[in-house]
Structures are given as C-alpha cells and as structure tokens.
C-alpha cells in the first residue's frame, strides 16, 4: 500500500514561496477570521468544541487538551495564566521552530482564542534560548497584532483584555517540563514541582491556575474552531484525532517534517516512501519514534496487539501506524513526533552513550536517582566506547536505569532511563559482545558518536 | 555598571511584564550579557538590587542555565550541536573541523589564541532534519559538514583580517 498524501493544516504555509511572517500576509490568507468568530461565542462553547475535537497535546504526553482546560480552577478568584511551551527541546523534534519563524500569527491567533475561552489574564510564550530570531519575530508579530487589536486591551472591541509576552529560556532541557518551565518563568532554577499538590491547573504560575500548552497544540485549537470540533474529530483515527507533524532525522535519504492525519501513515511508509528509504547501501536498524526519550524500536521485531473484538494482530515495525495509542501499546510512545532513524552502520552502544551524555548534562539535579543515575549511565557507556568494555556492563546499565524511573519528581527520570532500558532490551547482544567488538578496528568511515 | 542606554530602557520595559520582579531575572541576565558579553559578579549584584532580590537568587540562576557565562568569550560564538541526530551525520567531525581551524578546543569557555572565537559543543539545537547544525552567534547554519565548517571559518577569519 502506498503512503497517503500529506494533509497540511498546521504547516499549510510553511515553505510556501511568497508567504511571509508579517500580519498583512497572514490576514490576506484569511488570518484572524477564526478569532473574530471566537469572540462572538460563549467561552464555554469554545471549550466544548475543543473537547469535542478529541485534540491531544502535541508536546509529548498526548494529554487531552479540552480536558486539561476543564481542570482549571476557575472558582479560586485568582487570575488565570496561559503559558505557551515553545521550549522545543526534545532531541529529534524540530516542528515548532518552523511555526515560530514562518507563521507566528497562526500561533498568536491560537493563543488569543485559548485565552478568551478560558478567561486568561495574561499569556507568556516561553521560547527556548537558542531561538533568538524566533523570539524577535514573535515580539514583532505580537506588536503588529496588538496594533490591529488582535490582542491586548479590549480584544476586537470586546470588554476582554489580554497581553502576550515573550520570555526567553537559557538552554536548559528541563524547562520543557511544565512545572520546571513555570519555575523558570518565575525567575528561578527550573526545578520541577511535585504533583500533587502543584498541578498547574490549580497551583501553577505564581500559585495561580495555569494552562501550559505546546505551540503546535494551540495552532490546532485555531483550526478546530475554524472547522468545528466534530469535523476535526473525523480527521485521523478515533482517540487519535487531527494531524501530526512528524519530524524525521538521522539515517534517511530525505529527512524533514511531514504532516499527516494521525494514524493514517505507517512508520514503514513514512521512512521508505516519504523519506526515500535508507542511505545508499544501508539497511534500517533501529528507530526512536517520538523524540529521544521514547523507547527504541528494532527493525525485525514484531508486536502482537489485541483487537477490540478479542482477536489479535501481529505488526512489524514498518506496519506501525504513527498514532499515540498503537505506539504506546508497543511499549514506546508517539511523544513529540521526533523520529530518529539509525541504519546498520550505527554502533548502538555509542548511540546510547550519546543520548546518555545528553541526559546527564540536562538532569536538573533535584532528585538523587536521576542526578546520579543519569551520570553513571553516561560514565559507563562512555567508558565502554572510549576505554574498555566489560561483558556485564549491559546488566549494570539496566540495574541503574531500573532504579530511576518512578522515583523522581518529574518524568525526566523515565525519559533518561527509557533509552538505556530499551537499548539493552533490544540490542543486549551488542552490549554483551562489545568487549570483543572493541578488539577489532571500527569499520572505515565509522562516525564518532560520543 | 556601564550598561548602554538602550539596554537600560529595555530593562525598564521588561520588568513590568510580570506581576513579580523576580520573574524578570532571565530577561535581565540576557540583556546584561548581550551588552557586556558576560555576567560579572558586579552584574549579579546589580541585577539582584534592581529586582529586590538577594545576589544568591541571581547567582543560582546564572550557574544553572548553560547559556549564561561568567567569563568573556571570543569575538564570535560557535555552537556545534552534539546530540544524536547531528552526531549520526557527522556532528563530531564538524566540531573537530572548527577546532582545527581555530587551533582551540571545546573546553568550557576557551577562547581561540587569536581571540576570534569560542567553540562550544552544545546539546540539541532543534533543527535535527538539517543535521549537522551549527549556530554562529544568532545565526543557524544547516548541513555543516567538514568542508562547510572550513568555509564558515574562512569567513570569520576574513572579517577578522579586514578589521585589523
């Protein structure tokens, strides 16, 4: 079966010749018409449309967006904040970059609809420090939108007012974790908060009710209000609605970003047809399907999943539809949509060492299992690659990883242990054989990974 | 503290964006670093006073976030992405090419002997589809293999020669 066509909703204008990131261009393409419609609606009706749509958050966890909004403590009398997570920091993910740089007004429209629907007092866009141009583009776009009354005081002549401010991060991955992000926005080290009691919907920014949504999610909100929740829910597959931007990187002929209806394209179609298959003379070996934290899949393995009618089906890696639920059932996750591909030239121990170096660098250091565990996993894998490897290293690594997940304040504990756990589970033989492997010279042209 | 008037006016503008002054810590540190090149102990005290905080509140932020630095760097800042997608396509070679061109290493904050650059091997820059990527100051450069690293280095050296 050949790959379905892309369905570009969020990336409709990305890379379109002649499309610029200014207000005039956005309005010419129908921009802010949905916001004009939104302010004539009852806020609860907007929330209902989003709930109806089945939209799940695009940042990584896939939490239902409309439901997240209904958790907001609206009775506290405290102001409500919206924090836009534009910290895009999960390795393998690079979708928000293009929205922020090329189509910022799409995001601003989504933000203002969300603010109006939830009676938000103030919105902050937390953008990663490595996007200095993106921050300037956003500030310019906000100023333009404000001058045209698309945000700021008395939005479109209503009695509702809300400002948007851009807040730059400074290079810390943990700021992508929503409570770490909130701490950072408060001017502190981004140590994630313990939940309960600090659920952002109740005790978020400045201990007030707060929505934290991803950039792509807010763009979907705009589209949902445009077409209606029911129509949106028909896109994709049940419980995995809408489109998803899949970011493909690593060992494929045509890496890049592709937008598809959720679950309509399989991993095999994406990699072999859309991305042109492996590099010349190579075969696919492994793929991380949802950002670097997602558990790795090994080409050749199969998954037996239960159908609703009680029967079961067996799928290869190539057969897997790119949706939230199937990937979760296979023990990994759709996460942030970042697909990292490794071919048969890849030394899996070195690849894991690369990821472990990342997690050791990015652990915030608050919880001992994560701070120490991520560092030891890095030390062990780096030693295996650069010094000497022991037959028992795989078991040792698994032992360390198994003692992190579930014992930390935030999900970084899982994020840093899943790569090690899955690499050992799927490629354990390579780890066992590594002392022998190291005795022979690496193949010509082998790249250093750590 | 010798901050430019433009920096001071941006600082005055950004503080009221937040209901608490402390929230302006990161924005102020960015502005001070852009102006002075790094964040000195004096700057930490100045920011703390400006935001009615203790210097430790600012210092702990400076030491946590990788982008804040307490020492000057070279005239240009080269950041090479180290993380997996870039490494799979030669990120380590790219970094080595820059190091060779400027006769320096990626040791924390090291300045090349000619004073032109500081090279840093950083974590994911979120442009994995165009790996390997490099940021030179605020500019992103895509698909930077060894040859492109040499060409970018030559540009920096040319600009340096013109200035001298």
Indicate which CATH number applies to the domain containing B116. 3.40.30.10
Q: Say if strands A236-237 and A240-241 run parallel, antiparallel, or are unpaired.
A: antiparallel
Residue % of chain A over a pLDDT of 70: 100
Query: What are residue B75's phi and psi, to 5 degrees?
Result: -60, -40
pLDDT of A62 reads 85
Answer whether A102 touches B (CB < 8 Å).
no
**Arithmetic mean of pLDDT, A415-433:** 97
Domain presence at residue B70: no
The pLDDT confidence band at residue A88, using thresholds 50, 70 and 90, is confident
Same domain as B157, residue B83: yes
Contact A181, A212 (CB under 8 A): yes
Overall average pLDDT of the A372-382 stretch: 98
Inter-residue contact B69 to B33 (CB < 8 Å): yes
Complex-level ipTM: 0.97
The structural domain count of chain B equals 2
Average pLDDT over residues A249-258: 98
Place B83 in a pLDDT band, splitting at 50, 70 and 90: very high
Whether A443 shows a pLDDT value over 90: the answer reads no
Contact B65 A169 (CB under 8 A): yes
Q: What is the least distance, in Å, from the CA of B138 to any CA of chain A?
A: 6
Is domain A348-440 in CATH 3.90.1300.10, yes or no?
Answer: no
Q: Does B30 touch chain A (CB under 8 A)?
A: yes
Read off the pLDDT of each residue in A63-75 and give the average, rounded to a whole number.
93
Q: What share of chain B is helix, strand, coil (3-state, %, to 5)?
A: 55, 10, 35
Percent of chain A with pLDDT over 90: 95
Query: Residue A382 pLDDT > 90, yes or no?
Result: yes
Residues of A in contact with B131 (CB under 8 A): 249-250, 255
In a domain, B71, yes or no: no
Residue range A262-290, pLDDT digits in tens? 999 999 999 999 999 999 999 999 999 99
Looking at 3.40.50.11540, 3.40.50.300, 3.40.50.620, 2.60.15.10, the CATH number of the domain A23-234 comes to 3.40.50.11540
In this complex, is the C-beta atom of A204 within 8 Å of any C-beta atom belonging to chain B?
Answer: no
Full residue range of the structural domain in which residue B11 is found: 5-64
In a shared domain, residues B95 and B60: no
Q: For A402-424, what is the mean pLDDT?
A: 96
> What's residue A15's pLDDT?
96
Mean pLDDT of B36-47: 97
Q: What is the CATH number of the domain that holds B48?
A: 1.10.10
Domain endpoint, select from B64, B84, B101: B64
Q: Could you tell me if B60 and B95 lie in one domain?
A: no
Q: Judge whether residue A1 has pLDDT over 80.
A: no
Q: Which three-class secondary structure state does DSSP give residue A346?
A: coil
Task: Specify if B69 maps to a domain.
Answer: no
Contact B128 A94 (CB under 8 A): yes
Give Cβ neighbours of residue B54 (< 8 Å, ≥ 6 apart). B48
Size of interface A-B (CB pairs under 8 A): 152
The answer to whether residue A148 scores a pLDDT higher than 80 is yes
Pairing of strands A243-250, A256-261: antiparallel
The pLDDT of residue B108 is above 80? no
Q: What tens digit of pLDDT does each residue of A149-187 get?
A: 999 999 999 999 999 999 999 999 999 999 999 999 999
| Statement to judge: residues B43 and B119 lie in one domain | no
Residues in A closer than 8 angstroms to B31, CB to CB, are none
Cβ-Cβ contacts under 8 Å, A163 against chain B: 17
CATH number of A237-276+284-343: 3.10.20.600
pLDDT value, residue A59: 83
Same domain, B9 and B83: no
Cα distance between residue A341 and residue A326, in whole Å: 19
Q: In the structure, what pLDDT confidence band is assigned to residue B164 with cuts at 50, 70 and 90?
A: confident
Averaged pLDDT score across all residues of chain A: 96
B:143-162 residues touching chain A, CB 8 A cutoff:
none
Shared-domain flag, residues B44 and B21: yes
pLDDT tens digits for A321-346?
999 899 999 999 999 999 999 999 99
Task: Report chain B's mean pLDDT, rounded to a whole number.
Answer: 96
B85 shares a domain with B32: no
Whether residue B67 and residue A170 make contact (CB cut-off 8 A), yes or no, is yes
Flag if A340 and B90 touch (Cβ within 8 Å): no
Residue spans per domain, chain A: 23-234, 237-276+284-343, 348-440
Choose among B24, B126, B140: nearest Cβ to A187: B24
Q: Is A163 exposed, middle or buried (0-12, 13-18, 19+ CB in 10 A)?
A: middle
CA–chain centroid gap for A190, Å, is: 19
């Amino acid at each position: 079966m050949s790959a379905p066509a892309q369905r570009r909703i969020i990336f409709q204008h990305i890379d379109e010749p002649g499309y610029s990131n200014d207000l005039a261009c956005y309005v010419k393409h129908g921009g802010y018409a949905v916001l004009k419609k939104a302010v004539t609606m009852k806020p609860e009706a907007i929330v209902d449309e989003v709930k109806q749509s089945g939209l799940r958050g695009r940042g990584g966890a896939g939490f239902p967006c409309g439901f997240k909004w209904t958790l907001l403590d609206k009775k506290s009398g405290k102001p409500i904040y919206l924090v836009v997570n534009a910290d895009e920091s999960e390795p393998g993910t690079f979708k928000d970059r293009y929205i922020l740089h090329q189509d910022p007004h799409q995001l601003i429209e989504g933000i203002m609809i969300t603010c109006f629907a939830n009676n938000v007092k103030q919105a902050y866009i937390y953008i990663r420090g490595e996007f200095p141009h993106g921050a300037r583009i956003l500030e310019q776009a906000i100023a333009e939108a404000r001058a045209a009354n698309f945000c700021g005081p008395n939005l479109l002549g209503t009695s509702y007012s809300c400002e948007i401010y851009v807040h730059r991060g400074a290079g810390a991955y943990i700021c992508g974790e929503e409570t770490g992000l909130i701490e950072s926005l408060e001017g502190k080290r981004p140590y994630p908060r313990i939940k309960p009691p600090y659920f952002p919907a109740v005790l978020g920014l400045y201990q007030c009710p707060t929505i934290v949504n991803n950039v792509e999610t807010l763009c979907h909100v705009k589209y949902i209000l445009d077409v209606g929740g029911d129509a949106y829910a028909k896109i994709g597959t049940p419980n995995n609605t809408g489109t998803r931007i899949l970011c493909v990187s690593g060992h494929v002929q045509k890496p890049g970003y592709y937008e598809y209806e959720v679950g309509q394209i399989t991993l095999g179609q994406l990699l072999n047809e859309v991305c042109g298959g492996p590099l010349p003379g190579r075969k696919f070996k492994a793929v991380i399907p949802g950002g670097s934290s997602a558990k790795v899949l090994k080409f050749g393995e199969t998954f037996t999943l239960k159908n609703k009618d009680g029967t079961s089906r067996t799928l290869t890696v190539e057969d897997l539809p790119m949706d939230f639920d199937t990937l979760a059932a296979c023990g990994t996750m759709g996460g942030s949509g970042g697909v990292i591909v490794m071919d048969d030239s890849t030394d899996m121990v070195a690849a894991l060492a690369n990821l472990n170096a990342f997690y050791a660098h990015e652990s915030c250091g608050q919880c001992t299992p994560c701070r120490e565990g991520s560092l030891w996993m890095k030390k062990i894998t780096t030693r295996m690659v650069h010094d000497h490897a022991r037959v028992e290293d795989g078991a040792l690594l698994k032992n360390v990883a198994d003692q992190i997940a579930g014992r930390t304040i935030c999900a970084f504990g899982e994020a840093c242990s899943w790569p090690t756990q899955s690499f050992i589970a799927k490629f354990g033989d390579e780890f066992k054989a590594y002392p022998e492997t190291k005795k022979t010279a690496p193949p010509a042209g082998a790249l250093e990974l750590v | 503290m010798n901050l430019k008037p433009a920096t001071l006016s941006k600082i005055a503008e950004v503080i009221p964006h937040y209901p608490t002054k402390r929230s302006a810590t990161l924005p102020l540190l960015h502005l001070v670093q852009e102006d002075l090149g790094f964040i000195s102990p004096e700057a930490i005290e100045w920011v703390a006073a400006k935001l009615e905080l203790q210097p430790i509140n600012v210092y702990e932020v400076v030491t946590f976030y990788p982008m804040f630095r307490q020492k000057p760097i070279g005239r240009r800042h080269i950041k090479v992405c180290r993380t997996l997608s870039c490494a799979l396509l030669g990120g380590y070679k790219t970094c080595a090419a820059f190091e060779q061109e400027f006769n320096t290493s990626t040791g924390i904050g090291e300045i090349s002997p000619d004073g032109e650059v500081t090279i840093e091997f950083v974590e994911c820059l979120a442009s994995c589809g165009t790996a390997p990527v490099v940021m030179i100051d605020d500019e992103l450069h895509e698909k930077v293999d060894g040859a492109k690293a040499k060409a970018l280095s030559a540009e920096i050296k040319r600009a340096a020669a013109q200035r001298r």
